[in-house]
Amino acid sequence: QGHTCTHCGNSVESDCCEQRSISFSSNSNWEGVFILVRFLTCSVFTNWTHMASTVDFRTHVDQSCRYSEEFVNIYYDCMDKKRRNLTRLYLDKATLVWNGNAVSGQDALGEFFESLPSSEFQVHTLDCQPVHEQATQGQTTLLVVTAGSVKFDGNKQRYFNQNFLLTAQASPSSDQPVWKIASDCFRFQDWAS
């Protein structure tokens, strides 16, 4: 049943940002963030509904959710317990932006992760969506957004937000893709008192 999206004005034949956005209490610190998430979600969903494909849109979204949940479980388990393996989740030329500081390449990422104190991450929210292939030159890509809390050894617990762009890589031993991080942006969410 089609309708017009109130965020972008496009005619939408299936789910759009209005149905897919996460509901949070009205909080001025989050309002702008979720307007952006709604816009991005709507843009992606609107483009996918108009795309001719042998696999329907809902299947793409369901697969994206499943892959994203699996990825998030593996990523934060590695971060907390197997950090030496964490760089295996990144492409060779991946970039991490950690609170505004950029780190690129496998060696630099490995050194950076080893320099962090031990951690305990708790993911409170997860959002994901497929990125339209026209925006990624045909590369199957997912946008994964997490938020939660983390306690680094010797420090107080803090809130964080992390965004990943994951790309599907062919697996030599399976018909399922291997998801690698192309871009990662981590930021602490410190609230003004």
Using CA atoms, how far apart are residues 152 and 55, in angstroms rounded to an integer?
Answer: 43
Q: What is the pLDDT of residues 81-114, one digit of tens each?
A: 999 999 999 999 999 999 999 999 999 999 999 9
Rounded Cα gap, residues 37 and 21, in angstroms: 7
Secondary structure (3-state) at 133: helix
Q: What is the pLDDT of residues 32-78, one digit of tens each?
A: 433 344 434 444 444 444 444 545 778 888 888 999 999 999 999 99
Q: Of 98, 103, 129, which Cα lies nearest the Cα of 36?
A: 129
Q: Rg of the chain over CA atoms, in angstroms?
A: 18
pTM: 0.70
Q: Determine the pLDDT at residue 137.
A: 79
At 2-45, the pLDDT tens digits run 444 444 444 544 444 433 333 333 343 444 433 344 434 444 44
Task: Please give the average per-residue pLDDT across 155-171, as a whole number.
Answer: 95
